[in-house]
């Protein structure tokens, strides 16, 4: 999703400062952005490393100028089983990335964020409804909502808006992998993507199993743009009706 966000915002005229874990194809991303006629600075940084994040943002803004938008997107999906079976390591890893990583991103960005800017925190439908057997993930994603609402109040006097986006299932490797297929289809031997798609489609109001990354990026772009100039502290859900299905 992060790559899609960068590309979508560049298509709408933004220069991009992008971070990802070591080993990510940031060179390829930079090329994609530059083909669109925009500048792109990248750095291999773990969002769990607050000091490294601050250094990377300072370096990037020295080249590109002040930030007008911040999109905190990093996440991991922990589904270890019932909440009481979660190991301390599983719990901590989920909170470190899904919550503290979001906070680290905003903390690093705030000194370089222009008045009137926009901050978008990517949460999940797990931030607005419970997901069984994913206690660390659900807890962290719910906490992101509280963080967004608090930051909206704290940054509002500078004209900075803070909102959260809540995707349902998105067609990325976080969902499209054999481990998740097996959890979705426990009675099927070696379940396929098609098997998983049938299960996920049944959970949504709209007859689709998932949304595409660009669908989430379009929501992010809306919250970054002036078209949402008076929206702050809100939760924008992009889930094909998952959270409203009865």
Q: Is residue 230 exposed (0-12), middle (13-18) or buried (19+ Cβ within 10 Å)?
A: exposed
**13 close to 63: Cβ distance less than 8 angstroms:** no
Whole-Å CA distances, 156 to 6, 104, 148, 151: 25, 19, 12, 8
Q: At what angle do helices 135-155 and 101-109 cross, to 10 degrees?
A: 20
The active-site residue out of 14, 72, 124, 137 is 137
For every residue of 127-162, DSSP letters joined together read GTS--TTBHHHHHHHHHHHHHHHHHHHHHGGGT-EE
The number of beta carbons lying within 10 Å of the beta carbon of residue 236 is 18
Active site residue 137: yes
**170 close to 1: Cβ distance less than 8 angstroms:** yes
Helix (H, G, I), strand (E, B) or coil at 167: strand
Nearest partner of 177 among 188, 190, 193, judged by Cα: 193
**126 close to 172: Cβ distance less than 8 angstroms:** no
Helix (H, G, I), strand (E, B) or coil at 193: helix
Active site residues: 137
């Amino acid at each position: 999703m992060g790559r899609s966000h960068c590309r979508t915002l560049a298509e709408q005229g933004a220069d991009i400062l992008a971070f990802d874990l070591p080993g990510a194809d940031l060179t390829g991303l930079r090329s994609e952005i530059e083909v669109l006629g925009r500048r792109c600075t990248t750095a291999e940084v773990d969002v769990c490393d607050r000091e490294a994040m601050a250094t990377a943002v300072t370096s990037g803004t020295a080249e590109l100028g002040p930030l007008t938008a911040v999109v905190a997107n990093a996440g991991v999906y922990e589904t270890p089983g019932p909440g009481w079976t979660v190991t301390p390591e599983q719990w901590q890893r989920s909170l470190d990335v899904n919550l503290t990583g979001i906070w680290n991103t905003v903390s690093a960005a705030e000194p370089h964020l222009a008045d009137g800017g926009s901050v978008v925190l990517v949460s999940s439908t797990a931030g607005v409804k419970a997901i069984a057997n994913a206690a660390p993930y659900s807890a962290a994603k719910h906490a992101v909502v509280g963080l967004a609402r608090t930051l909206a109040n704290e940054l509002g006097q500078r004209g900075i808006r803070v909102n959260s986006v809540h995707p349902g299932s998105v067609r990325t490797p976080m969902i499209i992998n054999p481990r998740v297929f097996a959890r979705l289809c426990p009675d099927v031997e070696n379940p396929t993507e098609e098997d998983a798609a049938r299960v996920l489609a049944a959970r949504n109001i709209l007859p689709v199993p998932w949304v595409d990354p660009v669908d989430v990026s379009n929501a992010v772009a809306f919250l970054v743009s002036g078209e949402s100039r008076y929206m702050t502290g809100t939760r924008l859900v992009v889930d094909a009706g998952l959270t409203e299905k009865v």
